[in-house]
Amino acid sequence: MSSEQNESCSEKRLFPLLDIEDVLPILNEISIFAGLSDKQLYTLFRLLEKTCYKKGEKVFEQGSQPSNIYIIKSGSIKLVINEKSDLLELIVFEEGQCFGETSVIGIQPHAATAIADEDTELIVLSRNALLSLMKTDLDLFSILILNIAREACRRLHKTDEILLHYVLRK
């Protein structure tokens, strides 16, 4: 990995979001933000930041500690795992999708590496910002954690269906 890519992975600059109207349509479509009131969305908006990645840059590496929840404003991110020096592509997240949320609340190392599949702009909610809501807005924090748990359950259910499909084919 080049030093430029390493910097993007660990020290990528984050910038405040300035225009809520620019991101509100995206936030309204994200499952972990479902059921939020306008006031809660505005509170959340103030905690969000943005960053950009060029095609091929790593957002985070497999095995690294999670620090952010990411929402794709534009572009796409692929999740890959390094298995015996081969990269296996797991999924591609596209505009309006969210990733990293289960690692953040599970406090588990990332199970995969996230790489920009094209030039990508991300909206970022840091783990610290999320946890700060526990003290400043417990209702909002509770809704977010419940929504993240629901999303994790949906993904697990889908994974179970895929696994069952492969088991039954044998």
Look at residues 54, 48, 40, 55 and name the one whose alpha carbon lies nearest to residue 71. Answer: 48
Cα distance between residue 41 and residue 24, in whole Å: 8
The structural domain count of the chain equals 1
pLDDT-wise least confident of 10-24, 43-57, 96-110, 119-133: 10-24
Domain range for 7: 3-169
Q: In this structure, what CATH number is given to the domain that contains residue 122? A: 2.60.120.10
Cα distance between residue 59 and residue 69, in whole Å: 11
Mind listing the pLDDT tens digit for each residue in 5-31?
334 444 578 888 888 888 888 888 888
Greater pLDDT, 91 or 119: 119
